[in-house]
Every structure is written in C-alpha cells, then in structure tokens.
Amino acid sequence: MKLRTKLVIFSVTVIAGSVGVLAWSVDRFVRQQFEQEQRQRSDTLITQFRREFTHRGDEVVYALQGIAEAEGILRIAIELSRPQADPSLYAHDARGIATSRQLDFLEIVGDDGTLISSAQWPGRIGFKNDWVTRQSEWNQQGAFLARVELPDNVDLGLLAVRTINVGEKRLYLIGGRRLDSDFLQALVIPTGIRVLFYRNLEAAFVPGALLDPQGDAEQPERFATLIGSMQKQPRAGEYEIPGATGAVGAEKFMALPLTGRSSELLAMILVGGAQDSLVKTSIYIRNAGFAIGGAGILLALIFSLSVSGQVSGPLQRLEKAARELAAGDWKARADTRARGEAGRAARTFNEMAAQLGAKRERQLQAERVAAWRELARNFAVELKVPLFSLQLTLENLSRARKQTPERFDKIFLESMKMVDAEIETLKGIIGRFSDFAKMRQPHMQAVNVNDVARAAVKSFETEFNSRGRPPVKPELLLDEYTAKIWADPELLYRGFENVIANSLSAMPMGGTLTVRTAQQNGIVRVEISDTGSGLEVGDPAGAALPYAPKLDGAGLGLATIQTVVSDHGGRMSVEAMPGGGTAFRMEFPVAPASIRAPQVETPSTRSKPQPEPTVLKSQDTATKPKPPLARIMDI
C-alpha cells in the first residue's frame, strides 16, 4: 500500500472517527439533560397532583364531618333509632344537605345498610349498601376513590364515610365529589408538559375516558397500548408514545395508577411531554456532525494529497533512482528539488551514488591493471622457456662454429629442428592468447543448465577411465526442477569444460568429480567439486585466490571461466574442501518469466548426447574418442 493511500485512510479515519465520537457525545449529553429536566418537571407535577388530591380528599372529609355534627342530621339519627321509625320521611333530605355542603354525592344509610336518602340516585332508596356496614372505624379514615353508580352511567368520585352513633344504632353518611377534568384545572402545568387523566370505569379502553384540563384529550387512540398495559398490571412507570410520523411527534409519559379501597385500578394520571424539541436537536446535531465531518474529510483529503505529494513523490523518484543504480546504471541520480527530509535524503543518495561510481571506476582501473599484469606475467612465463631454448641453441651453434667447424653442418641442421619446434611453441602461445582476446560475445537464450552440465561431463568419459592412471568417478546431483537461465549454451559448455579439465588435472591419483545444481531465491547455482589436492585449508594466501589450481598451458583457463561467468551476469567462487579437494561454485540469474526460447541445436554434424543417469558409472572407454558438445536442449 502506497504512502498516499495510507495517509488518506489514516486522515479520513481520524477525522470521521473524531467527529462521529464528538457528535455522539453531544447528542447523548443533550438527551440526558433533556430527559433529566423533563423527569424533574414531571416529578414536580406529580407531587403537585398528590398534594391537590390529598387537599380535595381533606375537603370532602371536612364537609362530611360538618354534616355529621349538624343538629339536623343528629335529630334524624335519633328519630331513626326509635322503634317503628319511618325512614321515608327523610328520603329527600340528602339532596338539600349535599347542595348546602357543595358535595356531588351524598347518601344516608341506616344501621342495617339500607339506603334511606340519596342525592345522586333517589331511585335506589330502599336498596342496601352492604360494603359500608362491614367496617366500623370509618371516622378514623380519610377519603378514597370509588365507583359511583348513577341512573344512566357510572361516575368516579372521591368519597368519605362518617358514622353517627345513637345508642346501639348507627347512621352512615357517604359523601364526596366528582373527579374529572375540573380537577386538572387546579394544577399549575409547566410549558411543554401535558397532564392527562383517565377514568378507568370500564374493563376495556374507552377513548372518551381520557381527559385533559380542557376536556376530552386529543388523539386518545395513541394511548390505548399504554392504558392497556396499566390495566393488566397497574404500576408506576415511564412509557413512550410513538408519533404519527415516527420520531417526530413522539411523547414520553410518567404513568401513576390511582386505586380504590380494594386496590382496584380506578384511574391513572399521565404526565409527560413531546419529544419534538429533542428530536429536532438530535437531527441538528447529526446534520452538523455530517457537515463538519464532510468538511473535515475534504480538508483531510486535500492535506493528505498535498503532504503525500511532497513526500511520496520524492520517495518514489528516490526509489526509482536506487533501482536504476542497483541495475548497474551508475549515472542514476535522484531529483533534489524536494524540500525537507526528502530533499536531504535525495542529496545524500546522489553523494553516495557518486562515491560508489568513483569507487567502481577505481576498482575497475585496478582490476584492469592487475589483469594486464597477470596476463603479462603468464605471457612472460610462457615465452621464457622457448626463448631460453633458442638462446642455448644459438650459443651451441656459436661454440660449434669455433670449436668443431667440421661438425657445424650437422649441428646446424639439428639446431634448426629445435628452433623450428620452439617457434611452433611460440606460435601456439600467441595463438591461444589471440583466441582468448577474440572470444566472441555470448548469444543469449533460455538454457537448461542441467543439459549443459551433462554434455560437459559426457565429453570427458574417455579421460575418466584412461589407461595408465586411476579412474575418476563422476557424480551428477542435478535438481531437475531448476528454472532456465539466460545464457549462451556453447560458452557455458566451454566454461564447464575448463573447470572439469582443471579438476581432472588435480586428481592424478583418481577420485570423485561431483556436479550439483540447485535453485534458490531466483539464482541457479552450479557446483563442480573434486577430491584432488586443491587448496591447503590452512593456507591464507591460497584461500584468498578466486581459483587456486592452474590449468596446463598458457594459464588462460581461469580467465576463460571468469569471462564466461561475468558475461552471463553471474558470480563465481572457490572453496577448499575439508580433507582435500576444491569446490568451484558458479551462480547465474534465472531467465525472465516472459522469455521462452525454442530448442536450439548446434550444426548438424554434431550428434545428440544420450541421457545420463544421476551417477555416471566408470567404463573402459580408452579407445572411444572424446565427443564435442552435441546438443543443448531448451526444455
């Protein structure tokens, strides 16, 4: 992943995450504050309702207590306590007493529970109210909610009961006031808070029973689920009423159940308010978060692209220059127009490249001088013997001319034969150096290095088992899965021949010649080792040489091998094996995957070598001529 992409992802993630967390935190805080404030106002209103409810109950109790202590009702109680008293004489007294005391409901009940007078339903006179006689301590109790039956419906009243004792007989006074929307008008309701009162006088939900301070509540059907839950399980709690359009119009209410003497649910008070302001605030916070986040992301993108352009661009150019330098372009330089650390890195790279180039030039110059010195030394060594022989021949001729002139002609002829032989030797030396100087440039193609190694080993079958010397056992340990290399098969064959010939000369007492191939990390390694005398392990001078054993002749074997390996972009090294022997290692790069050459054949005069086993067995092939490189298969 590029630096620009990483920087953009990091910046966008940080900005989006930060704005998202901030918007969520603000929205959560606003919601908590809104809900806390609304809950406090609801609790305050519920407390106010309870105080008003208690005050209304106290008024009912006070009014009923005043009726019980009035002289007229005491006289009625005394008259009704007498034997053969006529209750019908007092059938209409309850209406007048209730009106004077501002009570909506009032009933006078006899000692046995028989209704004597009723202000709200005179038609029930004579019926019994058994529930009132089941308790005797009414004078110590306060007001309570109760269902009040009327001629055409059922009403909800805040009632109280008082008793008048006359001897052993009692007279019961049941009175109270209606509980409806007029009760809510006495409350001080804060702005944004709604108070609803539901009179639960039926088993099912009745929309008309839901009241607000102005009368019937609007859209009562929205509260059907809440009231249904309260009817099933009366308990105080918080409920949310969804709006007609989702979140907009939603309301949250605190529900407070109101029960009667037997804990039956008779009414409920609902206190709450709309969530519109909270929803609008949340939407505003969300939209603001999106706007701020979008602007932040846009700025982050601009900033990231700008910074990455100032950083990644110079780094990419620096990387390109480094790759060119690694590929061998010693003139590669980085662009130093960038500022800051990137510019300093580019300038440092250019300085390093210049130093490496200068060092390489010095190294190449030193190698050229060393190569010329080595070549001159080998050339001088090779010329020394024939020149010395020519010098002796001339000296012998001069002495023969002076000392034995009669034999001079015979000695002259013999000396000329020797001179001719030495001249041929000189010509051979000059020819070998000339051939080395004229070594052609390689014709590169995809080559299977195993085939070349087999062909090179096969060409020495006669020498491996030549008569007059102990045999040499060849072993081929080849990795058949190695990839092809980019090489000239004939030059590669020639280099392998030089190494194998050197190994044979290092094993006059016989031994084992091992050829291994392997591939690792895009490099094909060829190792040719022998069990000859090779290098002394403890000889630092010999170990420092790139290749210690010396071929017979002009000493150009090592130079030939070095040239072949170098022309193929490879490396070579020599290691003295413990216990004797030398391992010669060559490394070649794998051919590019896009390059696939057809099979290449040498001229038709060459025959195709037969496949060889992994380990070549020694055979008596002294009379068999040494075959040339036959064919390199491009497999």
Choose among 605, 631, 451, 419: nearest CA to 524.
Answer: 451
Instruction: Give the count of beta carbons closer than 10 Å to the beta carbon of residue 629.
Output: 20
Q: What is the pLDDT of residue 535?
A: 52
| Residue 68, amino acid | A
pLDDT at residue 209 tops 70: yes
The class level of CATH for 69-178 reads alpha beta
Q: What is the pLDDT of residue 616?
A: 32
pLDDT at residue 267 tops 90: yes
- If DSSP codes are grouped into helix, strand and coil, which group holds residue 519? strand
pLDDT at residue 471 tops 50: yes
- Determine which helix (DSSP H) or strand (DSSP E) holds 302, and give its type and residue range: helix 276-326
| Residue 191, amino acid | T
Q: What's the average model confidence in pLDDT over 134-163?
A: 92
Residue 573: strand pairing partners: 585
pTM of the model: 0.49
Which range has the worst mean pLDDT, 94-103, 307-316, 513-522? 307-316
Three-state SS letters, 375-396: HHHHHHHHHHHHHHHHHHHHHH
The token pair at 122 is: 């005179």
pLDDT band at 438 (very low <50, low <70, confident <90, very high): low
Q: What is the pLDDT of residue 454?
A: 94
pLDDT at residue 490 tops 80: yes
Q: State the Cα–Cα distance between residues 291 and 297, nearest whole angstrom.
A: 10
Q: What is the pLDDT of residue 104?
A: 94
- Domain extents in the chain: 69-178, 180-274, 350-435, 442-632
* 180-274 and 442-632, same CATH topology: no
Per-residue pLDDT tens over the stretch 110-124 = 999 999 999 999 999
Q: What is the pLDDT of residue 248?
A: 59
**26 neighbors 285 (Cβ within 8 angstroms):** yes
Per-residue pLDDT tens over the stretch 45-63 = 888 888 999 999 999 999 9
User: How high does pLDDT run on average in the chain?
Assistant: 81
Rg (CA), the chain: 61
pLDDT at residue 207 tops 80: yes
pLDDT at residue 20 tops 80: yes
Three-state SS letters, 6-51: HHHHHHHHHHHHHHHHHHHHHHHHHHHHHHHHHHHHHHHHHHHHHH
pLDDT at residue 604 tops 70: no
The class level of CATH for 442-632 reads alpha beta
Q: What's the average model confidence in pLDDT over 511-535?
A: 89
Q: What's the average model confidence in pLDDT over 98-108?
A: 93
Q: What is the pLDDT of residue 628?
A: 38
Compare 154 and 630 and report the one with higher pLDDT. Answer: 154
Q: What's the average model confidence in pLDDT over 386-415?
A: 84
- Determine which helix (DSSP H) or strand (DSSP E) holds 220, and give its type and residue range: none
Q: What is the pLDDT of residue 171?
A: 93
pLDDT band at 268 (very low <50, low <70, confident <90, very high): very high
The CATH architecture of the domain made up of 180-274 is: 2-Layer Sandwich (3.30)
Choose among 180, 117, 183, 124: nearest CA to 152.
Answer: 124
Name the most confidently modeled range: 425-429, 489-493, 561-565, 577-581.
489-493
Compare 317 and 598 and report the one with higher pLDDT. Answer: 317
Q: What's the average model confidence in pLDDT over 414-441?
A: 79
Q: What's the average model confidence in pLDDT over 239-245?
A: 74
pLDDT band at 603 (very low <50, low <70, confident <90, very high): very low
pLDDT at residue 606 tops 60: no
